[in-house]
Amino acid sequence: MSAPRVRRAVAHFTFDGRRVPFEQGDTLGSALHRSGERVLSRSMKYHRPRGLYCCTGSCASCFVTVDGVPNAPACTTAAHDGAHVASQNRLGSARRDLLRIVDLAYPAGFDPHDAFTRPGVVNRLFVKAVRRMSGWGPAPRPGAEGGVGTRHEMHVDHLIIGGGREGLQRARDADGRVLLVEEQPRLGGSALLDPSEADTLALVEAAAGWDHVEVWTDTLAFGIYDGTVALRRGDDLWQLTADRITIAAGRHDGVPMFPGNDLPGILSLRGAKRLWYQHGVLPGERIIGHGAPLPARFVRDLEAAGATVVEQGQVTAAQGGTQVERVALGERRLRADTIICSLPGMPRIELFQQAGCELTWRGRLVPVLASDGATTVEGIHGALGGT
């Protein structure tokens, strides 16, 4: 797994009119990164350049408009032939957005609570202008979005949310009929990105032979309402009840805090691993590790592929025009195009909280779990594993 298998371009999409080749299994984000495009969107208020960070669809910094429908995460949206992809919220192009002037004109930040609030006529003009200059892309063209789906109801003995290592282990050991749902197209979770997780990959193989387990991939558990779990499968809504629900949804990546922490070229460790191990895209050429040391094997694999891990430590600032160019670690200044952040993640606590489970702070917010995984709500279990 040190050298991702050789692939070849299968087709093209366009990004702001430019042809971008992609390969089997590419997302829009991985294909754009391979083609050298780091700036995928502009931020809502200051029009700062933004790009990939988490590569799991969670951080909202890589939203693009696809065939007229806004706000698709480039990092998890599969590339498809002939797609018209456009960057959002810019005047000009993603790389040269004239509205960046807002960021440059207000280096210390712009506080809308007391700017241009009086007199009323100025405020009305200001609000009108701001609404044109900020936001989240154009409204979809009528008919561009998918249709209205079908609603289904179902009851299972055991519903397991999350098809990573924890979810797979719970499914293997469960009694009764199990439904295992995973939002990604494949089971395995982070193990798909980690050559050292062979045992989890073996579970993925084995799962196909478990008669008591039904697996639904590409299925998002998006909410728990009064004990009923709402699932999205394509355009369809599934309302599930279960004797037992196990939430094994994994974690969100931690984000770094230093000036310039939002520049394109700054990636979470998992995001960088996804680019390399899943898509065969080198995250960058001159790389700095931030936070905990990067896994030695990942460093070796990146360097074998021609990248240089220049330095590892605690980044104190990142600078660059539209992407990382210079990085400060204390007094030291280094030239680099990429920062990979190895930071503690936060468990995905959304569903636990919606279900009414008690949460507590142990360095980050976690559900209160008994030794057998029981939460404080009957019938709901949790599995955090290595999160």
User: Which residues of this protein are in contact with another protein, per CB under 8 A?
Assistant: 43-46, 48, 50, 54, 57-61, 63, 71, 103, 107-109, 111, 113, 136, 145-152, 220-225, 230, 232, 235-237, 252-255, 257-262, 317-319, 346, 348-351, 353-354, 359-361, 364-365
Q: How far is the CB of 247 from another protein (least distance, A)?
A: 11
Burial status of residue 364 (CB atoms within 10 A of its CB: 0-12, 13-18, 19 or more) = middle
Nearest distance from C-beta of residue 113 to another protein, angstroms: 8
Cα pseudo-dihedral 190, 192, 198, 203, rounded to 10 = 80
Q: Which is nearer to another protein, 256 or 280 (CB)?
A: 256
Amino acid at 22: F
Identify whether the C-beta of residue 336 lies closer than 8 Å to the C-beta of residue 307: no
**Minimal distance, residue 280 CB to another protein, in Å:** 26
Alpha carbons 113 and 132: distance in angstroms, whole number? 18
Closest separation in Å from C-beta 88 to another protein: 11
DSSP-derived letter for residue 285 is: S
Shortest distance in whole angstroms from residue 259 CB to another protein: 4
Query: Maximum Cα–Cα distance for the chain, whole Å?
Result: 70
Nearer to another protein, 188 or 264 (CB): 264
User: Cβ closer to another protein: 39 or 309?
Assistant: 39
Least distance CB 125 / another protein (angstroms): 22
Return the H-helix or E-strand segment holding 120: helix 120-133
**Is the distance from CB of 62 to CB of 75 less than 8 angstroms?**
yes
- Pick from 327, 285, 329, 335: which is nearest to 306 by CA? 285
Q: Which is nearer to another protein, 200 or 375 (CB)?
A: 375
Which residue's CB is nearer to another protein, number 35 or number 354?
354
Of the candidates 87, 77, 92, the residue with the CA atom closest to the CA atom of residue 43: 87
Residues 6+ apart with CB under 8 A from 269: 253, 294, 295, 298, 340, 341, 342, 343
CB closer to another protein out of 199 and 236: 236
CB of 235 to another protein, least distance (A): 5
C-beta of 322: minimal distance to another protein in Å?
A: 13
For another protein, the closer of residues 36 and 363 by Cβ is 363
Which tokens hold the place of 290? 């931030």
- Distance between CA atoms of 171 and 246, rounded to whole angstroms? 9
* Inter-helix orientation angle 165-173/198-207, to 10°: 50
Residue 242 — φ and ψ, nearest 5°?
A: -155, 150
Pick the closer one to another protein by CB: 22 or 46. 46
Nearer to another protein, 175 or 361 (CB): 361
Q: Are 381 and 370 in contact (CB under 8 A)?
A: no
**How would you class 60 by CB atoms within 10 Å of its CB: exposed for 0-12, middle for 13-18, buried for 19 or more?**
middle
Amino acid at 286: R
State in angstroms the smallest separation of the CB of 54 from another protein: 8
